[in-house]
Structures are given as structure tokens and as C-alpha cells.
Structure 1
Amino acid sequence: MEHDERPPGTHPRRPEPGLRVGVTKADITPVDLTGLHPMPGAFSGVHDPLFLRALYLSDGETETALVSLDLIEAGDITPVRERIERELGIPADHVMITATHTHNAPRIADVSPGALAHAGGPESFAYTETVYDRIVDALREARAGARPARFGAGTGTADVNVNRETYTEHGWRLGHNPEGPSDKTVSVLKFEALDGTPIALLVNYAVHSTVVFGTGEVSADLAGAACRYVEERYDGDVVALWTPGALGDQAPRVDLGVPFGVAPTEPQRAHAYAAMDAQGLIVGAEVVRVAGGLGGLTGVVRIDAGQLTVPCPVKAGHDVMESMRQEAVDTVPLRLALIRLNEVALAGVSGEVVTEIHRRLQKESPLSRTVLISLANDRIGYLPDDARFDRPVHSVNGCPIARGHAEAAIVGGIVGMIRDRLN
């Protein structure tokens, strides 16, 4: 492993030509849980640890990085992306940071003006700085350990998600709607050394990690269980990075099943954790199967990356939790991010995108494989398609953008970024 011995804050050596990949995994479980619950309440303990997983990529000309955090969300993450550029030389607009969206974990960073989110307190901001430090350290380590590699991409399916917007005798509620749109695709990007040694697997799936939401304990939930299964199957020789797909309208099929705020019984808690592990196994096993069947991996890779911020007119939240904060401003920043590896696009969006927007993006994208990553570089709220505004569903009530703007900005912005880099 090569190590850059230059002083911290100076830019490392220019990467060598050809695909080079480095990856790191670091524990970010908070020691002091005081004031870190993202919603009203408090954590009673830790069930399983939280991790960050950092992936560094270079083609010899362009460097980029993707970080996955076992957190409910990260707000405006610009400060740490700018710090990465200052200290490591990786351009801030080449860095994509996302959260797995486990609801049994803290949030970090500040709320963007106009966004609909739960504001953090002093403890949350102190924890944010700790996570920032570990992100920078992890990417420094991943970059130093990068080695020649090749990659490939494939898809499978896993039926552990279900549309959660359902009509009841009391109106639209969150629940299980098997007739609603739901994308079962498990997307996998595999990175391995030139001798076939596995390095990393990037996973994308559309589901809220809320299986154990309400137990009151810190947990990486379904996403963490899936990554844990994959990493154990590879005997710890691979890092599995979970990225959330179009999860804005997707719930896990089996969860705690207790209303929020009601203390679960011990049998209910045991059931929830068993369901977490079982559903994580289903997704994880599909990741292992897809990765094992991939052929034609290539080290001849062109990387492109960039970001775009679209100011969108604000819509006030409706029927949302009182603890959610929304500044009275005219526009809210919708942040879009792109990492392209040959014909594969990782398309980041700074909110919880719904299924129909992802489907439209896939149809209009000029690339053969476009993977949408929700909660990238910010979390401004839910991002429903235009047609959904005819119904007072959860994703519309929690959307901070006026009708007619989010869907067009997401699809048009990402497709435009891809086309610009194909010319």
C-alpha cells in the first residue's frame, strides 16, 4: 500500500493512469447519545454500530469520491466537501455523500433554507464535526491505499419493499399499498483488483430503513444488516456501500408494527430485529449473487463528475411534525450530483425521490444504466412527481418545492449533466 507522506493540507501526488480504487470503513457510533435522536425522544442504547464507508475512484485524470453514512440524513454537507478539496485535492463537486436513512441514527449538518427537516441542537452539531473528521480521514486512507482495479455493473431483484402511501377510511396514510408503484431492482457496482481480489461493492435499493424504528436503540437497520451480510460473506475482504434509491414512497415489508411513540414490548422488539436481519439477508444475498455472476469487468474507465444546484420555488409543508423546521424563503436549493463511469451514471438528488421520477429518469437518460441516489449532499424533504400533487399524500405534504418544479429539475438537470459530458 502506498502512503502519501506530504504534510496534511497539501495536495497529494497526481493519480496514475488507469482505474484506481480505494475503500475504507470507519465506526461512527456516537459515544454520548444525549440530544442525538433526530425526532422528539432519546436513544436508550446501541443495538448495532453505525459506520461510514468511503469509496475513492480515479481514472488518472479525474478523481471522485462517494461516502455512505449509517445515519438518517445529512443536511447541507458543503462544508466537509470543501474541506476534502482543501486537504485532499479532490474537487468538492466530485464528492457525493449520502445517508442510508436509518431512522435509528442521528442526523448531521445544518438544514438548508426552505428545506423541511428536523433541526439539530448543539449535541448534533458537535457530532457533525466528529463525523466530518472521520470522513476526511477515511478518504485520505482510501486514496492512499488506492490500487489498479476494474469494475462492472449488474442488477437483480429483491422484494422487501412496498409502496407506503395508502388510502384508508381516514384518508391517505402511511401504510402498505401492494398495488402502488415499487421498484424491486437491486443495483450493484463491483470493484476488484486486477488479480480478482474484491475491493468494494456499491449497492442501491429503494426502501426506508425503518424496520426497527421505534425501538429507541441506535441501529443501522435494514441497510446495515444487508451490508453486514455482504461483508461477512466475503470474510471482511470487501466493503459494501449502501446507497438509497427512490425511497420516498417505499417502506420495508415487515417492520416493528407499533405506532411511533408507543413503547414496544420485548417480543415486539425481538420480532423487529429478526425482521431487520431477514430482510437485510434477502437484499444482501442478491447483491452477492449478482456480484458473483458479473463478467467483463474493465479497467479501461473514463470518470466524469459534477454537480448542479437548482433554486426551486418553496412550498410550505402541510400536516408535518411540529419539530420540522422550514425557513420562510422564496427558493430552496435542489442539489444534483453526477458520477459517471463509462455507461454507468450515479445520479445524486438532495431529497427523498419517489418511484415515478426515477422511472422517468431511466427512460430519458442517454446512458445504458442510470442509478438514482436519494439524500445526496443534502436532505431538503420529499420529492414527489407532479401527478402526485393531486393527492394529499405524505410525500406531497413533506415536499418543500412547489408543484411543477421538482420532477422537471431532477430529470432535466441530471440528463443535461450527462449529455454535457458526452460531448
Structure 2
Amino acid sequence: MTSISDGMVASMKAILADVAGVPAGHAIVCASHTFSAPHVFPAGHVPAGTDMTKNDAILAAFEVAIRSASTHAVSTLQPARLGVGSGTSRVSVNRDVATANGWWLGANDAGFSDPFVGVLRIDGMNGKPLAILMNIAVQSSIMDGSRTAAGGRMITADLAGAAARYVEAHYGSGAVALFLVGAAGDQAPYLQANRHTINPDGSVGRVDLHEASFALVDLLGERLGSDVVRVADTVTPRHAHVLDVLRENVEVTSQAFSPRNAPVGPVAAFNYERGAKTAVPVVLLRIGSMTLVGVQPELAASIGARIRTYSPYPDTLVATMVDGAAKYMPDAQSYDRFTYEARSSPFARGAAETAADAIVDKLKQLKNAGS
């Protein structure tokens, strides 16, 4: 899913609470931001022509899978050790590109990109991984918009799925790999199947690889998966003495935006309309030595790096699209450039920096309180 509605999040948490006794506030539901997979549309956001019978069938399948997985988890509860590590994986690129007519989407090697990959390793008492969690600032969108040569849709779990499969195959024994998308609002996979192009006259377009696209998924999935394994193999799991969750809100300034007016090309000017103050939910999850910062908006990569840099906790991960979605929250520079993300944001210029500083302050308060 590229996003998960509030209703779906609540339904998933209700199942988890029913089966496993986990309070809604202690669970997080995250989208992988994968475009090339069947989506479930909530009421009020259903595109014209959607087959609602199929839509409801997919939602029912989700709920069955969640109940089944939760039941299995409860029946196989066991002691575990946790460890966290980090490294780099160069599978992303900044997607904001300067054109003759303004900034648009593409691949900008000179732009800021964050190759940080964080890994949480959870081992059973036999020393073998039960689960590996990976966190990196890249969208799972290699095949975003790609079609068959005949115009049909192709289905894939994309980068997130390919990387997870690689990690699970490497460790075997039923190990589960989980993907948490980081601050990837202005990031794309380094190679995309239906890539954006800029023509000599400044106009923009796209070029699709069609069925050959799956090779890119395998290539980048293997690269990310192998980098995750490389980090996980350096981690020494230990007994976790900290397991807690804190939910807070940070206040930022909003701006007017309607999805119906999403940008369709570059511009040299744009009139932003600042709005009222709005609250952004933040979840701070402590697992062993790892602190996970989770937010709904799609942060720019530089903002995620900023939170990580100034966090008082050495092992800090930043995840976005957590417990719902709130579109883009770009850095200030993006507004000056009139980028796709800035023009598509429900948040005003400076909101991201304000949110990052507020989150760091909350982390410091948590640290000073002895947690």
C-alpha cells in the first residue's frame, strides 16, 4: 500500500488487540509505499470504476492474514534477544531535478540522499534470527506506473518485498523480514522502471521498460537485502531491558492543498497559502537500545537525518507513514524551488524543521527522565 486509511489502521489494531491483547496505542501500522500492488480504497476515496466487490475482498483478505499472523505469533511466543546496528545502502537517489521550466521529478545525483540503513535483529535463544527489521529512506516504487507493453498492470511487492525475500532466504528457519520506509519524501529508488525524463525543450515525460522492469526489482532488492544482512551479521543481540512506547503531538503550520490539484509539471512560481496550526502525531518506540521515531507525513531525507543526528539516543531510526498518511512534509529549500513535494504538501514552509526540533526536544526529555 502507498498509504493506509485511519479506518483500516483502527481495524487492524482491533484485530491485534482481540487476538494478542495488544492495546492500540502499543501497536504501529506502516505502509511500505509500494505502488504496484492491489490497493484497498476507503469510503470517500474510491476512484471511478473501482470494482467494490474486489475492493472489499482484498480488505477481507488483509484482515484474515492479520488475524492468522497474530494467532500464530501468540502461539509461538518465546524468549528473545534484541540488537540494533546500522550501515549504508546506496539504493536511493534524490528525485527533485532542475529543468528549464522549474523543478520536477527525476534522478538528481547531486541532491541530498541518505544511504543510512538501520537494522533491528531479533534472535531466538538458539541464536538464529526470528525477525529482521530494516529502515531506510527510499520509497518502494521501482515499478511506480510501469505497465506491460500491451498496457496491462503488473503486480509486485517491489523493493520492499524483494529485499525482504532476500533477507528471509538468507537466514531461513522461518525468519521474517520487515520493511519500514524512512524519510523518503524526496527520494526514489536509484533505478526506476517508468522513469521521468526531461526533453531538450524543457518539457517532461516518462519512459517505461514494461516487462523488463522486474529485473530492476531483483537487482535493487538484492543490493538492499545484502546490505541489511551485512549489518545484521555484525549485531550481537542481548536481553532487552527497555520496551515502551510514548505518543505525543507536535504543532506545525498547515497550508492549503487538495489532492485534486496535484502538480502535473514544473513551474517557475507558486502561491502557497498558509493555514492554521495543526497537530502532527508522533510515536516514540523504545525497543532495547533502539529508539524508533514514527510520523505520518512523508519527511524529506534531510529532515530524517536531522532528527537522527541530534537525537540523544545513538541508535535512532526514523519511520514515516506510521499509523496513517499525511502527504509530504518537505524541507524549507523545497518550497523555494516549488518542487512537486512542496506544492503537494498540507504543511507550510518551515513545518518540517519545526517538527524535527520538537521531536528532538521530546527525545531529550525522555532521556533526561531516565528512559
Q: TM-score range by the shorter chain?
A: 0.7 to 0.9
Q: Could you tell me whether the CA contact under 8 Å between 2:183 and 2:319 is conserved in 1?
A: yes
Matched, 1:288 2:219: no
The letter of the residue matching 2:69 is A
Equivalent residue letter for 1:191: I
Unpaired runs of 5+ residues, structure 2, are 148-152, 198-204, 265-274
**Is 1:235 matched up with 2:235?**
no
Higher helix share: 2
Q: Which TM-score applies when normalising by structure 2?
A: 0.82
The answer as to 2:36 corresponding to 1:73 is no
User: Sequence identity of aligned pairs in percent?
Assistant: 30
| Structure 2 counterpart of 1:317, from 251, 257, 260 | 257
**1:330 offset after TM fit, Å?**
5.8
2:99 and 2:367 map into 1 onto residues whose CA distance is 46
Separation in 2 of the partners of 1:341 and 1:418? 17
Residues 363 and 235 (structure 1), Cα distance of their counterparts in 2 relative to 1, 3 Å cut = closer
Matches within 5 A, 1:155-304: 155-213=86-144, 214-215=146-147, 216-258=153-195, 268-295=209-236, 297-304=237-244
C-alpha separation in 2, matches of 1:281 and 1:138: 26
Residues 1:306 and 1:207: Cα distance change in structure 2 (over 3 Å): same
How far apart in 2 are the matches of 1:163 and 1:379? 21
What's the offset of the Cα at 1:82? 4.3
For residues 108-127 of structure 1, the aligned pairs below 5 Å read 108=40, 110=42, 122=52, 124=55, 127=58
Q: How does 1:263-412 map to 2 (within 5 A)?
A: 268-295=209-236, 297-310=237-250, 312-317=252-257, 320=262, 334-412=280-358
**Matched letter for residue 32 of structure 2:** T
Q: Secondary structure at the match of 1:240?
A: strand
Cα deviation digits, residues 181-236 of structure 1 (max 9, x gap): 10111211111111212200001111122212222212111111111111111235
The 1:258/1:363 distance shift into structure 2, 3 A limit, reads: closer
Contact in 1 for aligned 2:84/2:289 (Cα 8 Å)? no
Distance, in Å, in 2 between the alignment partners of 1:278 and 1:159 is 12
Hey, which bits of structure 1, 4+ residues long, moved more than 6 A? 262-265
Identify which range, 273-282 or 409-418, moves more after superposition. 409-418
What does 1:31-42 align with in structure 2 at a 5 Å threshold?
A: none
Q: Distance in 2 between matches of 1:138 and 1:337?
A: 23
Equivalent pair of 1:335/1:377 in contact (CA under 8 Å): no
Counterparts of 1:185 and 1:240, CA distance in 2: 18
How many pairs are equivalent? 338
TM-score, length of structure 1 as denominator length: 0.72
Task: Tell me how far 1:278 sits from its aligned partner.
Answer: 0.5
Residue identity matched to 1:187 = G
Do 1:320 and 1:398's aligned partners in 2 also have CA atoms closer than 8 Å?
Answer: yes
